[in-house]
């Protein structure tokens, strides 16, 4: 399985728009964009490759998102919603699980569909602060989407980071997203260990069977000079935090992303307010230490 989304010429990186460039545009009006490719990850997750389009119909300024940042994707006439975005060299990748009306409609669209895109929003992961450290990635289900943006960054800047270890789980083999990365691309990266588990095994699956928290305990990753990046369903997070604590990870070194309903993306509309923070602006990336300072209302 080769990465079907990676059709950029890595030797010729395109210029990228800075956050400031995007801010100059009215932040509530989407830029016109086109879905150039749709990848079916699982029965209910699709990855949409999106490129902005200018007046002439040609790709406009690339829409660059940092690891962990968000993009507001809108389908005209249906609605818009905030998603975690992954930067690819000449386009944006947004992996979407079918959960509501908008996402159901998004799953119906074809390649070539015009969509709106605005952002990027949010703080993203502090990749500078993580330099020189080992990184432990933990993901569950569609939670691998935000994690993947960090993994890709670390792989692209391999020399800046220590050992990489991904622990990922989903309900079944069929529910694993980004299989081409999990089984083809990432295992080939030097000093990158990829550990995958499924809740329920089947004939297709030769690997580990069990829940993520138990799998982590079994793998026993070292907290030594290590930052842990954690995204997944709330129940998985809850049990995983207990395991990480037991393993000796400090709250400062466990980093996660929060999910809240968002409308404006720029810290105005109030919806994603938790305490004195707005998840769309001050988050979605928070360390566990930061979360402990916020009201438990997410």
Partner 1 sequence: MKAFPKDKLTAVLDTLAKQATLWVPAIVAGVSRFAPYGPGREVQLGANTVMSPKEALFPATEKIYEYSAYGIDGEFTPVDPSVGPQILFGLRSCDMQGILCLDDVFLTRGYVDDYYAKKREEATLVTLGCVTPGPDCFCYAMGVNPAEHAASDAQLFDLGDAYGIVARTAKGEALVSALETAGLLSESDKAPLPTGDFVLKVDAEGITEKLQHMFDHPLWDAFSRKCLNCGACAYICPTCHCFDISDKKRNAHCGIKIKCWDTCMYSEYALMAGGHNPRPSKKERVRQRFMHKLRYFPERYGKLQCTGCGRCIAKCPVNLEITDVIQQVREAKIDG
**Can you tell me which residue has the tokens 């289900």?**
141
Beta pairing partners, 93 = 49, 86
- Measured distance CA(176)–CA(292) in Å, rounded: 31
Interface residues with partner 1 (CB under 8 A) are 23, 26-32, 75-81, 99-103, 109-110, 112-116, 234, 259-261, 263-264, 266-276, 281, 295-298
> Which among 235, 287, 236 is positioned nearest to 258, based on CA atoms?
287
Smaller CB distance to partner 1: residue 205 or 298?
A: 298
Smaller CB distance to partner 1: residue 204 or 276?
A: 276
Q: Cβ(183)–Cβ(232) under 8 Å?
A: no
Query: Do the strands 45-52 and 164-170 form a parallel or antiparallel pair, or are they unpaired?
Result: unpaired
Which run of H or E residues covers position 152? helix 144-156
- Measured distance CA(238)–CA(244) in Å, rounded: 10
Write down the least CB distance from residue 146 to partner 1, Å: 16
Smaller CB distance to partner 1: residue 43 or 296?
A: 296
Smaller CB distance to partner 1: residue 147 or 264?
A: 264
Smaller CB distance to partner 1: residue 157 or 261?
A: 261
Write down the least CB distance from residue 50 to partner 1, Å: 13
Q: Cβ(103)–Cβ(54) under 8 Å?
A: no
Smaller CB distance to partner 1: residue 228 or 280?
A: 280
Write down the least CB distance from residue 298 to partner 1, Å: 5
- Measured distance CA(267)–CA(252) in Å, rounded: 24
Give the contacts of 98 (CB within 8 A, at least 6 positions apart): 44, 45, 104, 107
**Can you tell me which residue has the tokens 């119909």?**
57
Write down the least CB distance from residue 183 to partner 1, Å: 28
Q: Cβ(275)–Cβ(294) under 8 Å?
A: yes
Phi, psi of 120 (to 5 degrees): -75, 155
Smaller CB distance to partner 1: residue 69 or 103?
A: 103
The one-character DSSP state at 53 is: B
Smaller CB distance to partner 1: residue 15 or 270?
A: 270
Write down the least CB distance from residue 97 to partner 1, Å: 9
> Is omega for the bond preceding 170 within 30 degrees of 0, making it cis?
no
CA distances to 164, 240, 252 from 293, rounded to whole Å, are 29, 20, 12
Write down the least CB distance from residue 121 to partner 1, Å: 9
Write down the least CB distance from residue 28 to partner 1, Å: 5
Write down the least CB distance from residue 138 to partner 1, Å: 20
């Amino acid at each position: 399985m080769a990465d079907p989304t990676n059709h950029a010429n890595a030797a010729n990186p395109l210029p990228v728009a800075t956050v400031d460039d995007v801010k100059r545009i009215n932040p509530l009006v989407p830029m016109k964009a086109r879905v150039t490719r749709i990848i079916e990850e699982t029965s209910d997750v699709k990855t949409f490759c999106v490129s902005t389009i200018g007046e002439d119909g040609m790709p406009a300024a690339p829409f660059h998102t940092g690891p962990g940042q968000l993009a507001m994707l809108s389908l005209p006439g249906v609605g818009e919603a905030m998603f975690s975005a992954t930067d690819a060299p000449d386009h944006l990748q947004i992996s979407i699980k079918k959960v509501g009306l908008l996402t159901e409609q998004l799953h119906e669209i074809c390649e070539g569909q015009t969509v709106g895109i605005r952002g990027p929003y949010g703080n993203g992961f502090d990749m500078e602060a993580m330099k020189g450290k080992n990184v432990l990635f933990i993901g569950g289900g569609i939670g691998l989407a935000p994690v993947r943006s960090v993994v890709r960054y670390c792989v692209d800047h391999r020399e800046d980071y220590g050992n990489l270890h991904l622990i990922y789980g989903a309900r079944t083999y069929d529910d694993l997203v980004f299989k081409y990365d999990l089984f083809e691309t990432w295992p080939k990266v030097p000093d990158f260990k990829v550990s995958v588990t499924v809740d329920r095994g089947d004939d297709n699956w030769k690997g580990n069977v069990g829940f993520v928290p138990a799998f982590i305990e079994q793998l026993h990753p070292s907290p030594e000079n290590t930052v842990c990046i954690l995204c997944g369903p709330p129940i998985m997070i809850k049990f995983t935090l207990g395991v990480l604590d037991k393993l000796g990870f400090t709250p400062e070194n466990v980093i996660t992303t929060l999910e809240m309903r968002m409308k404006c993306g720029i810290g105005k509309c109030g919806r994603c307010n938790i305490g004195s923070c707005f998840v769309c602006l001050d988050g979605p990336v928070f360390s566990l230490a930061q979360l402990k300072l916020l009201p438990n209302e997410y």
